[in-house]
Amino acid sequence: MAHEIESAMYVKQPAWHELGVVLEDIPDTDKAYIMSGLNWNVEKQPLFYSDGYTEFNDGHETKQIMNTRATDMFAITRDKDSSILGYCKDQYEIYQNEDAFNWCKPLAESPFWDWESAGSLKEGKVCWALLKQGEYKLAGADLLKNYLMMTWSHDGSTAVTVQPTTIRVVCNNTLQMAMGEGGSLAKVRHHKMLHERLDDVRELHDLTGQSFKTQADSFRKLIRMKMTDIQIEETVDELYPIDEESSGYAKNINTFAKDMCFGLASGHKELGIQNTGYGVAMALTEANEHYIGGNRIKSRGANILLGNGKIMNDKIVSTLLLKSA
């Protein structure tokens, strides 16, 4: 399926791939659960293997019966179509989609968050929920929207994670970093207890709000960081290294990344951020998410949320922050 999006719901505005259901009004959690297409359950099914055949005679003819033995592995299947989403051992704890929405419900009912989107990737193997928290502007009209993103998997590939996430509106960049000490990524790990008390909800809001403030301060620092063309080229060479033995593909990526920094990136000239650390960061994350690497048509969604695209974005911003020190 294109972009690896299986099902999704969005509020008021579709995503870049224009897949999924677009809602005109902000839904409550029950409606978000249904409209996202995530209203299904998974369960563990024991796996067996064949240990040959045993012959027996039923009085009329000789027949064979397969010998089966139990393994210590289970298949993770979903009830709506019996498809296998992954494999696990007995100690693996099933996490249902409904559990995620129940965790999000008191947040969406508070004054701090509204539903923005939710859905599944990779035929249901990976799921996400996105709650809007607020927005702020940098460099004039450069709008960044803040979200709380929750991701979980049914194939054992990722832990249940809740993470502050920012989207830069001008180019739909997903900046999944809450810049902490040394530019590290700050994550809020999910636990089994729901946020049932308003104090718990407010505490989470304060925590994510501090992460967004730290991120904004980091971006403002990069806005003040002036870079010459030579410094920009050296930074790109560091992030996308090439030498005489590099493939043509690697050299093309390096050249394209430089072109993005020198004028192709969205909003650079209009916002006056060209030749700044912030401009370079936004140019390279835009290139990384929209144009560079892999099959962009098939896997862009998973790449941005969970794959190498996210990892590279973190590296880009961290590298520039170190240079600005």
Query: What are 21-65's pLDDT values in tens digits?
Result: 999 999 999 999 999 999 999 999 999 888 777 777 777 777 777
Which pTM does this prediction carry?
0.81
Task: Name which residue leads in pLDDT, 298 or 190.
Answer: 298
User: With 70 as the cut, is the pLDDT of residue 15 above it?
Assistant: no
User: With 50 as the cut, is the pLDDT of residue 193 above it?
Assistant: no
Computed over every residue of the chain, the mean pLDDT equals 83
Q: What is the pLDDT of residues 141-163, one digit of tens each?
A: 888 999 998 889 998 877 788 88
Contacts 24+ apart (CB under 8 A), 213-218: 214/178, 214/179, 214/180, 214/186, 215/164, 215/166, 215/175, 215/177, 215/178, 215/179, 216/136, 216/138, 216/144, 217/179, 218/179, 218/183, 218/317, 218/321
Q: What is the pLDDT of residues 55-113, one digit of tens each?
A: 777 777 777 777 788 889 999 999 999 999 999 998 888 899 999 999 999 999 999 99
Q: Which residues does 214 contact at the CB level (< 8 Å), separation at least 6?
A: 178, 179, 180, 186
Of 1, 4, 47, residue with least CA distance to 302: 4
Per-residue confidence at 133, pLDDT binned at 50, 70, 90?
very high
Q: Which class for 272: exposed (0-12), middle (13-18), buried (19 or more C-beta within 10 A)? A: middle
Domain residue ranges in the chain: 2-40+95-219, 42-89, 222-324
- Sign of the C-alpha dihedral, residues 3, 80, 35, 191? negative
What is the arithmetic mean of pLDDT over 233-261? 94
Q: What is the DSSP string of 156-199?
A: SSS--EEEEEEEETTTTEEE---B-GGGPBP-EE--SS---SHH
pLDDT of residue 201: 84
Per-residue confidence at 302, pLDDT binned at 50, 70, 90?
low
User: With 50 as the cut, is the pLDDT of residue 181 above it?
Assistant: no
Measure the CA angle with vertex 174, ends 171 and 178; round to 5°.
130
Task: Name which residue leads in pLDDT, 140 or 97.
Answer: 97
pLDDT of residue 187: 45
d(CA 135, CA 211): 13
pLDDT of residue 51: 78
Per-residue confidence at 176, pLDDT binned at 50, 70, 90?
low
Which range (88-97, 198-207, 304-313) has the least confidence? 304-313
Quick check: 195 and 112 in contact, CB under 8 A? no
pLDDT of residue 306: 57
User: Helix, strand, or coil here: 73?
Assistant: strand
